[in-house]
Amino acid sequence: MIQAAVISNGLQGIHRYFVSNEKVNYSVLEIEEDFNPDLTPYDLLVVPNGCDHIAMAKIKDKVASFLEEGNALFCFDGWFTNWIPGNQWVMSNEKKTIDIRYKVKTDTYNLFEGIDIDKLIYNHNISGWWACGYIDASKNADVIVEDTWQRPIIVLDEKTTNGTIILTASGPLGDSGAIPTDDESSYSVLGQLYQNMLSLIIKKINHETSMF
Amino acid sequence: MKKIGLLFNGVWSHYTFATAPKYKDLIELIYIHDFDETSLDRLEALMIPFQSNQNAIAKRKDVIYDFLAKGKKVFIEGDSSMDWIEAKWEDRPTNNYWWVENPNNPPISDTDFTHPIYEGLTPRQSCWHTHGSYTSMPSQAKAIQKKPDGEIISWETQQYGGTLFATTLDPIVEHGVQQITHLDHYVDKLIFWLSGDKASGSFDVPRENYGIAVSC
């Protein structure tokens, strides 16, 4: 079992979507004044959708050290501050959501195995519901998914630091989903993709895979 | 001069909204963990968006009620964890796609279009989706918007001195997200009601606003 820290800035849903199980033990770290958590007990840091990127920027050096020690970071949000090494999320409203399509580009670890990418593109036949903006990705990173205009939407970066960074352009994911829904078929993919990402991290921690 | 404060939970949609050139000279971001009585000096109104840290706000609720007692305006997009106002929000399923599947049956059927925020808006501009219903509201509050089943979506009261307006709509967050393209109408009316200032132009998102450093 791996140890994961989930950052919470007081929004509802975090405790529902990140429930400890046989694979991973989740600890929710609540952001309060003078937020300065001890990350040393954890293998994985999860920054879910709707997080506080002022607080994260204030612990930027601590996150960098955490990654240099070989640990993992998931960020499924729009980090407008510059706290993630080598990669920057950028908001953009220049493109129309009706034109948004996603394509798997470089998926070395088969994270999209069993994933119907159309579920990330369409909801009730309307496109552009899941992610926002794009990632200005490190040249060292793999772009797993790009959009219509070849902008990175999901990124895996194993080279900028000694750790593993997996990012979405504010596309919500979670251990058991990420959005309250009355339409389970549209949103179950959010948990499935997360599980594939989590399995990669567990394998890496257990040295069952390598970057080559 | 900025007259409206926006309680800022470090969330990107709050940031995108308040830093857009259209609004940046009208709205002051107030980081929730720095929020105290001095934060509201010189301001006429306060916005509290959806995706706020309700526990952190609850610790500072006296600052908000003192502001209201001075005759100011407060606009709240809350959520069901909010226990610092005399009203009860209950979650309801959010239907983002009624306009695709059942466009003649919007989630809100009854709006007081004489209210300054809603005056001149179309029904579509005054409702995109809701995140819950108010099952109770302060003793002297008046309902402004209701669902077809009579549940309350928006209400307003002057019983605390100024005007407290609460809604389960989320215009600030959704305008920041920019996936709903007709929210300028609602938000610009809201800003005028809160401050007397008129926002104009399109909602642009400057690249240089992203990747900023924060001093510790």
Residue A181: what pLDDT?
56
Contact call for B178 and A93, based on CB within 8 A? yes
Contact call for A80 and B100, based on CB within 8 A? no
User: With contacts defined as CB-CB under 8 Å, which chain A residues touch B98?
Assistant: none
Say if A8 is an interface residue toward chain B (CB within 8 Å).
Answer: no
Say if A171 is an interface residue toward chain B (CB within 8 Å).
Answer: no
Statement: residue A168 has pLDDT above 70 = yes
User: With contacts defined as CB-CB under 8 Å, which chain A residues touch B101?
Assistant: 124
d(CA A13, CA B184): 29
Residue A35: what pLDDT?
97
Residue B94: what pLDDT?
80
Q: What is the pLDDT of residues B199-211, one digit of tens each?
A: 999 999 999 999 9
Q: Which fold has domain B4-209?
A: Rossmann fold (3.40.50)
Mean pLDDT of chain B: 94
Query: DSSP characters for B169-192?
Result: --HHHHHHHT-STTTHHHHHHHHH
Contact call for B51 and A54, based on CB within 8 A? no
Cβ–Cβ under 8 Å, residues A181 and A187: yes
For residue B174, count CB atoms less than 10 angstroms from its CB and return exposed for 0-12, middle for 13-18, buried for 19 or more.
buried
Nearest by CB to B12, from A97, A128, A170: name it.
A170
CA distance B45 to chain A (A): 23
Q: What is the pLDDT of residues A71-116, one digit of tens each?
A: 999 999 999 999 999 999 999 999 999 999 999 999 999 999 999 9
Residue A184: what pLDDT?
58
The CATH architecture that domain A2-205 belongs to is: 3-Layer(aba) Sandwich (3.40)
Cβ–Cβ under 8 Å, residues A170 and A133: yes
Nearest by CB to B205, from A60, A91, A123: name it.
A91
Distances (CA, A) of A12 to A157, A181, B17, B82, B150: 29, 14, 22, 10, 26
Statement: residue A212 has pLDDT above 50 = no
Q: Which residue has the tokens 């990632």?
A: A135
Statement: residue B81 has pLDDT above 60 = yes
Confidence of residue B149 (pLDDT cuts 50, 70, 90): very high
Residue A182: what pLDDT?
54
Residue B109: what pLDDT?
83
Statement: residue A210 has pLDDT above 60 = no
Q: What is the mean pLDDT of residues A9-30?
A: 94
ipTM reported for the complex surpasses 0.85 = yes
